[in-house]
Amino acid sequence: MPVSVYLRTPFTDLTGPTVNCQFMTICSKMEMKAINCVEAYGEDRAQTKCKALLEDLYECVTKTKQMARVLEMKMEREKQISQGVRGYAEGPAHDSFQAPTTL
């Protein structure tokens, strides 16, 4: 979550905007909405007024909930395989992949 800068120097002014999602990423529009909201309300009030936008941006960048869902699906799949409810999927045929060519 964005927090206000406690120690402001020319170095922090120079390096502050280098970490963002504006370079053609999935989260760039979401970050722009969050930045506009923070600019409208200020950094202190934005923690309450823009909480939903900031949480969505944090999830978009870190993907913690998505990784938790994937882990849960993997655990459920392994549990079903160990109980015998389902089996492992068949692998592809040996000649189905083309070997990478080298120059």
What DSSP string describes 52-89?
HHHHHHHHHHH-HHHHHHHHHHHHHHHHHHHHTSS-PP
CB 50 within 8 A of CB 37: yes
What's at 70, amino acid-wise?
V
Task: Show me where the domains of the chain are located.
Answer: 27-83
Cβ count near 79 (within 10 Å): 11
What's at 78, amino acid-wise?
E
pLDDT score recorded for residue 1: 44
In a structure prediction context, what are the per-residue pLDDT tens digits for the chain, which is 103 residues long?
A: 444 566 778 877 777 666 677 776 788 889 889 989 999 998 889 999 999 999 999 999 899 999 999 999 999 999 999 999 998 888 878 777 776 676 6
